[in-house]
Structure 1
Amino acid sequence: MDKRTFTIAFLTIIVWSSGFAGIRASILGGFSSGHLVLLRFLVASVVFLIYAMLAKKRFHLPHKKDLLHIFALGFVGITLYHIFVTFGQQTVSAGTTSMIIGAAPIFTTLIAVFILKERMELFAWIGLGIGFIGIILITIGSSGAEFTISKGMYIVILAAISASFFFVFQKPLFVKYHPIQLTAYFTWAGTLPMLVFIPGLFENMQAATLEANIAAIYVGVFPAAICYATWAIALSMGNTASVMSMMYLEPAFAIIIAWFWLGEIPSILSMFGGLVAISSVAVVNMVGRKRREERVESG
C-alpha cells in the first residue's frame, strides 16, 4: 500500500470511527432511534444525489437484472445494519458497539465457509473460536455487576451479521459498477424502507438539542456518505486485503473519540475482549492470505 492510499484509508477510518459517538450523541440529545437513522440516510442520499448529478457521464442506471440484488443488499447492508446499530446504541456504548462491529469479519468468514463453501484450515477455525470468546468477553464486560446482557448487545451483534452478509454478497456487482456508484445505489435502496420512520421526524428534530441535530447531520454527511466514497477510492488504489486490514484500527479510534466526545470509557474486560476479537480477525486473514500465496506458488 503506497503512502497516498494509506493516508486516504487512515483518515477514512478515523472519521468512520466517529460515527459511533455521533449516533450516541444524537440519541442522548433527544433523537429517537428511528428518526435518527432516517435523517442520517436522507442526508447521505442527498450527498450521493449531488455526486450523481456532478458525475453524470460516469454514472448510469443499474441494469434491470441487478435491481433485486441491489435492493436486497441495500436492505441488509444499509437498512438492517444501521437500524440495528442505532437501536442497539440506546443501551450500548459507542466504544463497545465499535468493538463488536470490528469483529464482523468473523461472521463474514463463517458465511463464506458455510454458504459459499470456501475451505478453511484448522488454524483459521481456532482464530474464529478465539474471536467468539472475545465477543463473549465484550458482552459480559458491558453487562455490569449484575451480568445481565442488554437487548442492545444482541441487536448490535445482529448488525455485525448483517454487515457480513453485505460484504460477502456485493462482490459480484463490483465487476459491473464503480464502487462509489454501487454504494450510492445501496444507500438509496436502503433508505427507502426507512421512510416508515418519517411520521414525527420534523417534530423530533425541533425537540432534540442543537448538538444532537448537528451530530445527526454530521454522521449523515461524513461516516454514512463521504467515508464510503473515500473508502471505495482507497480500495481501488491499493491491495484490497491491505486496505481492509486498516479496519482493525476502528474500535481503538472509536473508543478514544467516544471518551473525548461523550466521556464513555468501556470496562477493562470489554477492552480486553475487543483486543481478543480483533486479533482473531487478523489471524484468520493472515491464514487465508498465506494459503492464497501457497496456491499461487504451487500453481
Structure 2
Amino acid sequence: MKPRTASPRFLALAGTVLLWASAFPAIRVGVDGLGLAALSFLRLAVAAVALLAISPITGLRMPRKRDLPLIAACGLTGMTAYQVLLNWGEVHVEAGTASLLIAIAPVFSVLFASAFLSEPVTRNIVVGSVIAVAGTAVVTLANGFSGFSLASLVVLAAALVQGVYHFASKPLLRHYSGLEVATYAMAAGAVFALPFAPATVEAAANAPAGALWSAVFLGLLPSALGFVIWGYAVARMPLAASTAALYLVPPVALLVSFVWLGETPHPLELIGGVIIAAGVILINRRSTATPAATDSGSLRADAPFAADERGSRADAVHGQH
C-alpha cells in the first residue's frame, strides 16, 4: 500500500492559516522600520501587481462599469483603510493581541448583512455577537483599565472596516469569483493609497532590510498567495471545514509572534480570544440552518474568497493580514 500523504487542498488550507497568522508579526516588523504610510502602500502595491500578473492564469474578467463604484468602496474600506488602521494599531498593540481583536470582524460583517441586506437576525446571531463583544472586552482590558489604549480602538476600527468590506463585496460575489473581487479591491486599494507614495520613497530609502522584506513578504504571501491558495481550498472542500480552519489563525498568530518577536500574551488575552472564537462559531452555525447563510460573509477578517458560479461559493472574512 502506498503511504498516505496530505492532500493538496489540506496543504492549501494549512498554508493559508500559516500565512495569514504570520502577517501580524510581519506587520509589526514592517511598521517599525517603514512607518505606517510606507508599509500600507508597499503591501497593497506588491499584492496588486502580483495578483494582476497572474490574471491570465486565473482567468480574471474585466469588471462591468456599473460595478466600479462598489469595487472602489471595497478597495477603500477593506484594503486601504484596513491596512492603515491595522498598521497604525500595531505600532502600540502587540501582534498576537491584534490578531485576537481582528477576530471580531465576522460579527460586524453579519450585523451589517442583517441590517442592510435583510438577512434574518437569528438567536445565534444575537447571542454569538454578545459573546464575541464580551471576548473583545476581555482582550482589550486584559491588563486592566490602565492598559487600555487608543491603539486597541484603532485595531477594532480595522475589524469594523473589514466587516464593511465583506458587506459591500457581497453583491459583487453574485457576478464574480472571490478571487476576482479580491483582485479588483486590491488594485483599487493600491490606487487609493497612492498619496502615500512620496512618503514611501523616502521611508524605503532609509528603512532597514528586514522592514523592506517584511513589506514584500506581506504583499506576495499573506495577501497575494494567501488569496490564491485559499480559493483553491474553498472550491474543493465543504464550507464548514474551511471556515473552521480559519479559527486557528489567532492561536497560530500568537505562536508565530512568540517565536518571531518574543511576545508572550497575557492569560486573559488568551481567554478573551477563546470567547471571541466561540461567539463567531455560534454565529456561523446559522449556515447549517438556512440556505442563505452560505451566501453570507462570516468566516474571518483577512481574506475574502468565493468560488464562481461554477463551483461552491463562500465569503471568507479573515482580515487582510
On the 8 A contact 1:70/1:189 being kept in 2, the answer is: yes
Give the whole-Å Cα distance in 1 for the aligned partners of 2:170 and 2:11. 24
Residue 120 of structure 1 and its aligned partner are, at CA, apart by 2.8
Which of 5, 8, 18 is equivalent to 2:9? 5
Query: CA RMSD of the aligned region, Å?
Result: 2.0
Q: What corresponds to 2:49 in structure 1? A: 46
Deviation at 1:221, TM superposition (A): 0.6
Matched with 2:217 is 218
Is contact 1:75-1:193 (8 Å) kept? Answer: yes
Aligned to 2:299: none
Aligned pairs for 1:113-262 (under 5 A) are 113-141=114-142, 144=143, 147-262=146-261
Q: Sequence identity, in percent?
A: 28
How do 1:40-119 and structure 2 match up within 5 A?
40-52=43-55, 54-55=56-57, 58-119=59-120
Distance 1:119 1:174, change over 3 A: closer
Letter in 1 for 2:202: E
Structure 1 residues 146 and 111: alpha-carbon distance in aligned structure 2, compared to 1, 3 A threshold: closer
Confirm or deny that 1:21 pairs with 2:25: yes
- Counterparts of 1:148 and 1:254, CA distance in 2: 21
Q: In the alignment, is residue 37 of structure 1 matched against residue 40 of structure 2?
A: yes
Residue identity in the other structure for 2:69: L
Does the aligned pair in 2 maintain the 1:102–1:247 contact within 8 Å? no
Structure with bigger helix share is: 1
Deviations 1:94-149 (A, max 9, x none): 101111112211112211222222223334322221111100001001xx455242
Distance 1:199 1:169 in 2: 30
Whole-angstrom distance in 2 between the partners of 1:121 and 1:152: 32
Cα distance change on mapping 1:181 and 1:122 into 2, 3 Å: closer
Letter in 1 for 2:73: A
Q: Distance in 1 between matches of 2:119 and 2:175?
A: 23
Mapped to 2, the partners of 1:59 and 1:146 lie a distance apart of: 49
Cα shift at 1:46: 1.5
CA deviation after TM superposition for structure 1 residue 6, in Å = 3.1
Amino acid at match of 1:94: A
Q: Give the Cα–Cα distance (whole angstroms) in 2 for the partners of residues 134 and 211 of structure 1.
A: 34
Are the aligned partners of 2:35 and 2:203 in contact in 1 as well (CA < 8 Å)? yes
Give me the whole-angstrom Cα distance separating, in 2, the residues matched to 1:64 and 1:113: 27
Deviation of the 1:290 alpha carbon = 4.0
Q: C-alpha deviations, 1:43-95, integer Å up to 9, x for none?
A: 1121112112x438x23311111111111111111111111111111111110
Indicate the larger mover: 273-282 or 226-235. Answer: 226-235
What amino acid is the match of 1:235? Answer: V
Moved over 6 A (4+): none
What's the TM-score once normalised by structure 2's chain length? 0.84
State the AA in 2 paired with 1:70: I
User: Would you say the 8 A contact 2:169–2:181 is kept in 1?
Assistant: no
